[in-house]
Chains A and B, each alone.
Chain A
Amino acid sequence: MDEQQVQDSTEASHDASRRVRRAVSDLGVDGRIRPSVLEDATAQVVACASALRAVREVFPEFGPIAIPTSHIERSPE
């Protein structure tokens, strides 16, 4: 992994960890879940996010709006 990939991976892991903490709170089970469960859930969220990044790469329509310029009328100068 290059530096950018390491950084992306770390960010993805942190984001997943935040989402799992939020999920535990939303479910009303704060402090009642074993750390190993939280780690496994975080790993699943990371795996899901990684797969969905690939979805956006393969299916551009699911990325940010990017309408080809050929389809857009030029704005008047």
Chain B
Amino acid sequence: MSAEHGSHLTDLTATGILARYRDGHVSPVEVVETHLARIVELDKTLRAFVSTRADEARQEAAESAERWRQGAPIGPLDGIPVSIKDLMAVLGLPMTGGSARPWPRATTDGHAVRLLRAAGAIILGTNTLHEYAFGGTGVNAHVGTPRNPRDPTCIAGGSSGGSAAAVAAGLAVGALGTETGNSIRRPAAFCGVVGFKPTFGRVSRSGVVPLAPSLDHVGVLTRSVPDAALFVKVISGHDPSDSGSRHAPIEPTRPMRGVDGLLIGVPRSMLRGIDHGIARAFEDALVTLSMKGARVIDFTLPIASRWTAIASSIVMHAEAAVIHADRFRSDAESYGEDVATRIISGQAFLGADLARANWLRAQIAAELDDAFGHLGQIDAIVAPAVPATAPVLAPGAFVPGDAPWSIEVGPFHLQRLPSLIGLPAGTVPVGWSRSSMPMPLMAMAAKWHDSTVLTVLEAVCAAIPTAPSRFPSVGEFAT
């Protein structure tokens, strides 16, 4: 192997790897082999993968290498090794959904997985997650708890924790995740990678184990913002088999001239209880945006700042109770206590509760329409993505700042807001703590303006280092 090769290949972005394929400096065989070797080396510690498909990936890499040799790549991700959250159907692999009761081997790919494959991506395996994607820690007694590659004594977060850990540690170049509350952005924020959730309806959920269908999204975790744009472009498109799928009026990667001239809103009154380092990194990012020509203003969201979490929690729990009714009836004993609790409470909510939650959801959507529309003219909203860095993995681990039933003004409402009303949103690290933990920013924009979010994230993104190749001692933790 040349100096280009070896572990350095696991530091590269998809766009960087594709450039090297084009130049003939690197082959998909080397890239896939390097990632598979890193999985073998590190995943005993990280627990990012539920299953791998090494033999198939090697075969596909050889085929991809031949296409590149002939100058005829099959699509925009030809030869890029990726991984998939283990609640999406991947042809030939069993699917656990993070549960103790796996589904049989899939006979076809889920829609987004199929589009990734058609673009040439090579699937290395499936990633660990919170049970049924119904929780924020990623702690999972059934399939293993993903560790944070920046510090394996800490959680990767959930629910797409394995996907975030895999990308952060250089085990996959990109990954698919899902989000019903904050399940792509939170683990991405904790692990220091890009997490992006497109507008509701842009990416089909067909072939994905549902949690709450009016809130569920498919999105991506990557090593750079351009990679996120590339992946989202590939997996976007109307799919009649998903009733939530829409014909998008605006392309996800519509070209933009940077952030110059954009009006960026900061919901300052909601930013309480933020870790000092994260707050400082966020303020530095605002300065960066201003220096690049954006106008940054403070503004308020009186309804969203109090009522987002409760509306999101009621809708999520109630829909999950419907989705899980049959499975829970037949196999309640296999469910973890936290998920069982949520399903039972969702069943216990009344029609009146759901009516009020849906009314709040409509009020919040209207408030955001005003902010983005003629009343506010705001192009994007930015805030710290999480109030604190990833907590230590321990029995009873909880997500800092998470308050699903609170109606106090606080930053947790911002985390649930994009999924509740279907806005595009993403997160990037904008700084690193002294202990190398990421300090992330989140951005959101009006429906279908995914490209605005990506543009803002690109403008503020700090360089994303791959996690160290040697990890500190993990110690003994219950999974």
Q: Whole-angstrom distance from the CB of A28 to the nearest CB of chain B?
A: 4
Residues of A within 8 A of B344 (CB): 20, 23-24, 27, 33, 37-38, 41
Chain A residues whose C-beta falls within 8 Å of the C-beta of B328 in the assembled complex: 27, 29
In the complex, besides A37-B340, A44-B342, 9 extra interface pairs with C-beta distance below 8 angstroms are A20-B345, A23-B321, A26-B347, A27-B329, A27-B332, A32-B333, A34-B340, A45-B345, A50-B405
Which of B341, B353, B406 meets A37, CB within 8 Å? B341
Please classify the interface of chain B as helix (H, G, I), strand (E, B), loop, or mixed, using the class held by over half of its residues.
helix
Q: Is B54 an interface residue (CB 8 A)?
A: no
B332 adjacent to A45 (CB under 8 Å): no
Interface segment among A5-13, A51-59, A67-75: the answer is A51-59
Determine the distance from Cα of A59 to Cα of B307 in the docked complex, in whole angstroms. Answer: 11
Contact-residue bracket for chain A: 20 to 34
Bound-state CA distance A15–B220 (Å) is 42
Assembled-state Cα–Cα distance A13/B356 (Å): 20
Q: Can you list 20 A-B contacts (CB < 8 A)?
A: A16-B348, A19-B350, A22-B348, A23-B344, A23-B348, A24-B344, A27-B329, A27-B344, A33-B340, A37-B341, A41-B342, A44-B405, A48-B310, A48-B345, A48-B405, A50-B405, A51-B407, A52-B356, A55-B307, A55-B407
The answer on a CB contact under 8 Å between A41 and B341 is yes
CB <8 Å contact, B341 and A44: yes
Count the B residues whose beta carbon is within 8 Å of the partner chain — how many? 31
- Is B337 on the interface with A (CB-CB < 8 A)? yes
- Shortest distance between the CB of B406 and any CB in chain A (Å): 8
A4 close to B (CB within 8 Å): no
Binary per-residue interface labels of chain B (356-389) against chain A in the complex, 1 for a CB within 8 Å, 0 otherwise:
1001100100000000000000000000000000
Which residue among A26, A32, A38, A45 has the maximum number of chain B CB atoms within 10 Å of its CB?
A45
Interface status of B314 (Cβ within 8 A of chain A): yes
A37–B339 alpha-carbon span in the complex (Å) = 9
Interface set of A (CB-CB < 8 Å, partner B): 16, 19-20, 22-24, 26-29, 32-34, 36-38, 40-41, 44-45, 47-52, 54-56, 59, 62
- The answer to whether the Cβ of B313 comes within 8 Å of any Cβ in the partner chain is yes
Q: What is the CB-to-nearest-CB distance from A29 to chain B, in angstroms, rounded to a whole number?
A: 4
The answer to whether B342 touches A29 (Cβ under 8 A) is no
Are A48 and B314 within 8 A (Cβ)?
yes
In Å, the complex CA distance between A48 and B349 comes to 8
Q: Are A41 and B360 in contact (CB under 8 A)?
A: no
User: Which 7 pairs from chain A and chain B are nearest by CB?
Assistant: A47-B405, A23-B347, A23-B348, A44-B345, A41-B344, A19-B348, A28-B329
The answer, yes or no, to whether B397 is at the interface (CB within 8 Å) is: no
B337 near A48 (CB under 8 angstroms)? no
Q: Are the C-beta atoms of B332 and A51 separated by less than 8 Å? A: no
Contacts of B338 in A (CB 8 A): 40
The B319-342 residues at the A interface (CB cut-off 8 A) are 321, 325, 328-329, 332-333, 337-338, 340-342
Name the residue among A22, A23, A38, A52 with the largest chain B CB count within 10 angstroms: A52
Question: CB distance A40 to B356 under 8 Å?
Answer: no
B413 to chain A, nearest CB (A): 12
Which residue of the partner chain, among B333, B341, B356, contacts A62 with CB atoms under 8 Å? B356
Point out the residues of chain B lying under 8 angstroms from A38, CB to CB: 344
Closest-by-CB residue of A relative to B344 is: A41
Contact at A48–B407, with CB atoms within 8 Å? no
Residue from the set B329, B342, B405 with the largest chain A CB neighbour count within 10 Å: B405
* Bound: A45/B321 CA distance, A: 14
| B332 with A33: CB separation less than 8 A | yes
Taking CB atoms, residues of chain B closer than 8 Å to A48 are 310, 313-314, 345, 349, 353, 405
Partner of A32, one of B332, B350, B356, B360: B332
Inter-chain contacts of A52 with B (CB < 8 A): 310, 353, 356
Min CB distance A41 to B, Å, is 4
B405-421 CB contacts (< 8 Å) to partner A: 405-407
Identify which of residues 430-453 in chain B touch chain A, using a CB-to-CB cut-off of 8 Å.
Answer: none
Interface string of B284-327 (1 = CB under 8 A from A): 00000000000000000000000100100110010001000100
In angstroms, Cα B320 to Cα A44, docked, is 15
Is B348 within 8 A of A41, CB to CB?
Answer: yes
Q: Which residue of A lies closest to B313 (CB)?
A: A48
Q: Determine how close the nearest CB of chain A comes to the CB of B464; give it in whole angstroms.
A: 37
B343 an interface residue at 8 Å Cβ cutoff? yes
Task: Report chain B residues within 8 Å CB of A20.
Answer: 344-345, 348
Are B329 and A45 touching (Cβ within 8 A)? no
Within the complex, what minimum Cβ distance (angstroms) separates A46 from chain B?
A: 9
On chain B, the residues within 8 Å of A23 by CB distance are 321, 344-345, 347-348
The listed residue with most A CB atoms (<10 A of its CB), out of B333, B347, B350, B353, is B347
Pair B329/A40 contact, Cβ less than 8 Å: no
In contact, B348 and A40 (Cβ under 8 angstroms):
no
Q: When chains A and B are docked, how far (Å) is the Cα of A56 from the Cα of B321?
A: 25
Check A55 against B356 for contact (C-beta < 8 Å): yes
A62 → B minimal CB distance (Å): 6
Report the minimum CB–CB distance from B358 to chain A (whole Å): 11
